[in-house]
Structure 1
Amino acid sequence: MFGASGGIGAALSAALVARGTPVLAGSRSGKPAAADGATPFRFDLEDEDGIAAAVEPWRDDPPDLVIVATGVLTLADGTGPERSLKQLDPAAMARVFRLNTIGPAIIAKHLLPMLARDRPATFAALSARVGSIGDNRIGGWHSYRASKAALNMLVRNFAIEMRRTHRLACVVGLHPGTVDTPLSEPFQANLPAGQLTPRRDAAANLLRVLGALTSEDSGEIFDWRGERIAP
């Protein structure tokens, strides 16, 4: 689990531990806030050497499920998603892409080749419905939308490449819905009743979707109900 100290990552880790599943729980601090019973490890999305070093011990016994539960909507300095193209800032846009697109891609670079070839394995990255170009009706949130659309493209690319060597593998993107986490907190006030999902429920939804996937689903983006999202 990459991003195990975040709202969704922590809930996913806790749910897996509760099922008796061994969990490797990664965070920038190396000390996940939740999921007692998980084995912590440290990684930094912007440090490729550190990511490579973190996963190297898994080479002889690779995980069957990898979840990248990282992502940013509002930057640490308070810069939020743009509502107009006039608000585009190159530095902020580059950072959003580093965290939402490049970081997960580097994790995939070092983990996908070591997945087992003789049994099913799943690599899932948290994406977002707003990353769908075909589903975009209102615009805005330029950097976030574009970074998730780029992530979705990489999911498809990686799935195609993995079919050549790991035919039982499944590489997917997951849209968890609007979850009650710090990421969504600034935008919760105007949500319709019932649209905000508690973290535990979101984790259960995503694990249910993951449990139904096969290699035939590789390269797709699924929402929390298991429905495909248009690219």
Structure 2
Amino acid sequence: MRALVIGATGGIGAAITAQLQGDGWDVTGLSRSVDGFDVGNPASVERCMAAQEGPFDLIFVALGILAPLQSAPEKSLSAIKAEDMAAVYAVNAIGPALILRHAARLLPKDNRGVIATLSARVGSIGDNKIGGWYSYRASKAALNQIVHGAAIELGRSHKQSICVALHPGTVATSFTADYAGRHKTVEPQDAAKNLLTVIANLTPDNTGGFFDYAGQEIVW
């Protein structure tokens, strides 16, 4: 079995890579630190993705930012800055969309193939009860729509493909360090096991869906 993990040196990406390798998978990793993969740079995404040769049984996209460096998620409308919102969208929505452009070429044509992208429960419009975090919430909602549309398109040519958005829970990484005290956290290794269990149980009927770490569907 072959996997491509994008964001392979991050907290969740590294744990996913280690778990897959421990299970005997052949894993190709892409990251900024090792491969110069800059998800916010379209030319970088194209260069790195074009160099990959499929098919991959699993493509796992473990990318995302809460806010640009030196900034924080907005607590109010008055805190919104156009440049910060654009930066968050570039990483959380546009970058994954550019990755998905290569999905049809890299997934198996006639066998099961999964592309899973990390999303977040706060990207659910129906689940939003407290507001705030405008850029992050909106970028993940945009990602969910991109994933859903990609699933429809892929399903026309790759009948056994599965394209989903996944919520990992609050994982104890540097990504969540400033906010983890408000939520129960899980270690990256446990999050990886949870997500890979969810992925293993998905069928083509689940494509286009938004699921949490326990396999429960999340409202859009």
The two structures have a TM-score, normalised by structure 2, of: 0.94
Query: 1:163: how far off?
Result: 1.4
The two structures have a TM-score, normalised by structure 1, of: 0.90
Question: 1:1-16 residue pairs with structure 2 within 5 A?
Answer: 1-16=5-20
1:52 counterpart letter in structure 2: E
Partner of 1:189, secondary structure, is: helix
Query: Per-residue CA shift, 1:17-67, capped at 9, x if unaligned?
Result: 11111110110122xxxxxxxxxx4422123333233233434x3211000
Distance in 1, Cα, partners of 2:209 & 2:170: 20
Q: Does residue 1:144 correspond to 2:136, yes or no?
A: yes
Query: Per-residue CA shift, 1:198-226, capped at 9, x if unaligned?
Result: 11100000000000011110000100000
Question: Residue in 2 aligned with 1:48?
Answer: 42
Distance in 2, Cα, partners of 1:189 & 1:207: 25
Native 8 Å contact 2:119 2:143 kept in 1: yes
Report percent identity of matched pairs.
Answer: 44
Q: Does residue 1:165 correspond to 2:162, yes or no?
A: no
Unmatched runs of 5 consecutive residues or more in structure 2:
none
Native 8 Å contact 2:45 2:95 kept in 1: no
Match of 1:75 among 31, 51, 68: 68
Partner of 2:7, secondary structure, is: coil
Distance in 2, Cα, partners of 1:57 & 1:14: 23
Question: 1:1-231 residue pairs with structure 2 within 5 A?
Answer: 1-30=5-34, 41-59=35-53, 61-76=54-69, 78-191=70-183, 195-231=184-220
Distance in 1, Cα, partners of 2:43 & 2:83: 23
Distance in 1, Cα, partners of 2:62 & 2:27: 14
2:156 counterpart letter in structure 1: R
Unmatched runs of 5 consecutive residues or more in structure 1:
31-40
Q: CA RMSD in A?
A: 1.2
Query: Per-residue CA shift, 1:70-106, capped at 9, x if unaligned?
Result: 0001322x21100100100000000000000000110
Distance in 1, Cα, partners of 2:190 & 2:172: 10
Native 8 Å contact 1:173 1:222 kept in 2: yes
Query: Per-residue CA shift, 1:159-215, capped at 9, x if unaligned?
Result: 111111111100000000000011110012333xxx111111000000000000111
Partner of 2:75, secondary structure, is: coil
